[in-house]
Structure 1
Amino acid sequence: MIIKKSLINKSIEYILQHIDEDISIEDVTNHCNFSKYYFSRMFKEETGSSIYSFIKRVKMDQSVVSLKVEKDKTITEIGVDYGYSSSNYSSAFSKQYSICPVEFRKTMNSTEVANPFYPNEYNTFKSFEHYDAKIIIQDLGNFKVIYERYIGNYNEIGSNWYSFMERYKTYIKLDTLLIEKSYDDPSITQLDKCICDLCITVDEHVELENVTMIKGGKFAVYQFDGSIYDIFVTFLGIFNIWLPRSGYKRDKRYVLGIYRNIDRKNNHVTMDLCIPIK
């Protein structure tokens, strides 16, 4: 599903940037200068979710990512970070994921993970040393981009890229970068609810309604060279294995995938997997 209304994208961006705050429906509608009733109806028509359900889902999903990487925090502390009391967090967590947070955290010691895109397949993580040897800490600059925001299964990214690039082919040059800006971990978030922006870099003079600036900053950059089918487990390995032992903290921004070379015939890509850190 492409989110076509710029106002809805503005509200989603606001929610994602303030997800660890006590954000309300009124905060979102006031930010967009619309009445609560009218904007709530428009939001649901465009996204398929109410504003309240969207905020609740993203808060819980992001708290699970924190459970993975913030090993120095207790489960209670993480629940409180996202607006839950201790008992409410455990109950809400168990209801959404059919496992309690204590048991979930124990699974983080595993060296393999079920692949959500291929349910019968398990992927094994590499060692900390493997990821550490291929990661460079970089300060990335800002990127001015044309973007389209999708809510849906990451498996559909390939076909979405084809149609996106066809629509904006007149803006594509030799030095244009293709960038994926993603917010969700598909091993946590329901596959049909994952948020991803497809972006192409453009010159400063380009002005369209769907032009935005991807803000740079400090990232752990893993130089990936392999099959597109291995991108998911590599991202997850960085989060599950490397980040908790790296000495860095996750910065609650978006993850970037910057393509350097694409061999569509052989499903092979060279790209930078960029994890925001602080």
Structure 2
Amino acid sequence: MDKLVREEIFNTAKSWILEAGNIIRNKINEPMEIGSKSNPNDLVTSVDRSTEEYFVNKIKSKYPKHLLLSEEGFGDNIQTVDGTIWIIDPIDGTMNFVQQKRNFAISIGIYHEGIGEIGLIYNVMEDILYTATRGEGAYKNGQKLPPLKSGVVLEESIVGLTHLWLCENPLVDERVMQELVQTARGSRTYGSAALEFAYVAEGVLEGYLTMSLSPWDIAAGMILVNEVGGVSTNLDGNVLDILKRDSVFTGHPEVHKRILEDFIKKGRK
């Protein structure tokens, strides 16, 4: 993607995500419809849907040739990475949104011919916007994030984990995961994959791993993490397919390598 084109799209996407966040903040205490999708804990609200519709209308109006991959079903049926694709989660962390009214984000990843060009993650209630453009670094509210420091060890790291490694058919032996938790300095669960990616990019977390995420959960975050020198793979250490659901492991390259070799591969089922 041409640099000038990328800059124009970035500025447009930034204005839209901030406007959408403002709309959500103004509606946060209003009555809303709450339903579920794959299971009773997989929540969806009328605000998820209206926010996604907001982006669909904006994108299709200004960029009619661009495609949209999104969580709530208003996007296109995308089979290849050809062209320019916006990958959007209108509210990442819907359970937090419903029960806490905080700790959720809008996530937008823009890919061109399969390459991540622009990533935006907006922590709506704290008014914190993480942004990244390919080759130009990652930012938090306009302040450039430094590259991840070298010499980081797992024993001094905080790792983001989800409870899914304790599910009925875990991908990694739970005894190995318990060993990982005991070896790291600490573990955290924030309930929003987009925010956990942003925290890895910021250096608040040294790693984040989960058993299963969709493209809209990771599209923006991968770009942010990449721009500060981080690594994102699945639990086999393979490159993530931006159009498919998969296990996800993102983090500081040294911590990523240590966890992958000493824990994940040892406990992989």
TM-score (norm 1): 0.27
More helix by share: 1
TM-score (norm 2): 0.28
Q: Which has the larger radius of gyration?
A: 1
